[in-house]
């Protein structure tokens, strides 16, 4: 029992240290802006994506072509899809990630918002 408790403590401590070093690395790279993009049915600059994985792949590739890296990119179903079918209506998927401070204006111009 005592070894198990000690082992759990060590693993928890290591996890906490690892997360702190990740935060420090983000700061060193200037990655402090959390951004999000609400996907539309077909008006996104990178084209249409049918799933959260497709959205992450298409958006990160598009941004990469513009020398912008979206760190920790993930797409989640944050909202219900819009009932309208126009291209500008939202699908409910939201792309989340982190960008370097120098890229904030560029991603905002593409429709991202700073969280």
- Extents of the domains making up the chain: 30-114
Q: Which two tokens stand for residue 9?
A: 């403590």
Q: What is the 8-class DSSP label of residue 86? A: S
Q: Which pTM value belongs to this model?
A: 0.74
d(Cα 98, Cα 101) in Å, to the nearest integer? 9
Beta strand ranges found along the chain (DSSP E)? 31-40, 71-77, 90-100, 113-114
pLDDT at 65: 97
pLDDT at 69: 96
pLDDT tens digits for 70-110? 999 999 999 899 999 899 999 999 999 999 999 999 999 99
pLDDT at 26: 54
- Is a pLDDT exceeding 70 seen at residue 15? no
3-state helix, strand, coil in the chain (%, to 5): 45, 25, 30
């Amino acid at each position: 029992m005592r070894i198990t408790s000690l082992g759990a403590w060590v693993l928890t401590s290591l996890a906490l240290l690892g997360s702190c070093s990740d935060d420090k690395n983000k700061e060193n790279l200037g990655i402090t802006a959390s951004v999000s993009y609400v996907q539309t049915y077909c008006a996104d600059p990178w084209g249409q994506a049918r799933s959260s994985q497709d959205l992450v792949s298409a958006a990160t590739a598009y941004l990469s072509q513009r020398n912008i890296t979206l760190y920790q990119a993930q797409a989640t179903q944050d909202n219900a899809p819009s009932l309208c079918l126009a291209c500008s209506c939202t699908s409910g998927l939201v792309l989340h990630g982190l960008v370097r401070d120098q890229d904030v204006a560029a991603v905002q111009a593409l429709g991202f918002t700073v969280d």
